[in-house]
């Protein structure tokens, strides 16, 4: 994995002993990392409201933020990089997963689900 990603777990869980494989900084380097918003990993504070559906949770504003980040990535790098099946959006809530799919389909049509996971 990219050393920027392994740095936190190494410090927090492994007392700095977790080591990266050889040349992982080079092997995992990508042109989109040149923009700070698209670094190896980022956290975003999205102002939104969570709502419950049964035992699951969703946040519409977070789903819309994911769509906008994807749009920016495609706008900035889509002519140079084929992102098909290289992008995944992770959620631990089933209802958020459905909301993400709805928002991406609204923005890009059904075919988007064959491009991103």
How does pLDDT run across 51-75, given as a tens digit for each residue?
A: 998 899 999 999 999 999 999 999 9
CB atoms within 10 A of CB 89: 17
| pLDDT at residue number 57 | 95
Q: Are residues 28 and 53 in the same domain?
A: no
| pLDDT at residue number 40 | 87
Q: Could you tell me which residues are beta bridge partners of residue 57?
A: 52
Tell me: the pLDDT tens digits for 12-34? 999 999 999 999 999 999 999 98
| pLDDT at residue number 42 | 86
| Total number of domains in the chain | 2
Take residue 50 and report the two structure tokens written for it. 């969570």
- The residue ranking higher by pLDDT, 98 or 54, is 98
CB atoms within 10 A of CB 36: 7
Take residue 46 and report the two structure tokens written for it. 């999205």
Q: Are residues 114 and 78 in the same domain?
A: yes
Instruction: Report if residue 39 sits inside a domain.
Output: no
| pLDDT at residue number 3 | 93
Q: Cα angle vertex 15, ends 9, 17, to 5°?
A: 85
Instruction: Report if residue 63 sits inside a domain.
Output: yes
Largest Cα separation within the chain, whole Å, is 47
What is the pTM (predicted TM-score) of this model? 0.84
Q: Which domain holds residue 20?
A: 1-34
Take residue 94 and report the two structure tokens written for it. 């089933």
């Amino acid at each position: 994995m990219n050393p920027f990603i392994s740095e936190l777990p190494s410090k927090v869980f492994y007392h700095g002993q977790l080591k990266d494989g050889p040349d992982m900084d080079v092997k995992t380097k990508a042109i989109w990392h040149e923009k700070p918003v698209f670094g190896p990993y980022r956290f975003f504070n999205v102002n939104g409201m969570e709502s419950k559906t049964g035992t699951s949770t969703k946040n519409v504003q977070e789903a819309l933020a994911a769509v906008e980040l994807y749009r920016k990535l495609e706008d900035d790098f889509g002519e140079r990089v084929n992102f098909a099946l290289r992008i995944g959006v992770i959620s631990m809530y089933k209802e958020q997963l459905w909301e993400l799919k709805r928002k991406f389909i609204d923005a890009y049509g059904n075919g988007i689900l064959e491009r991103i996971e």
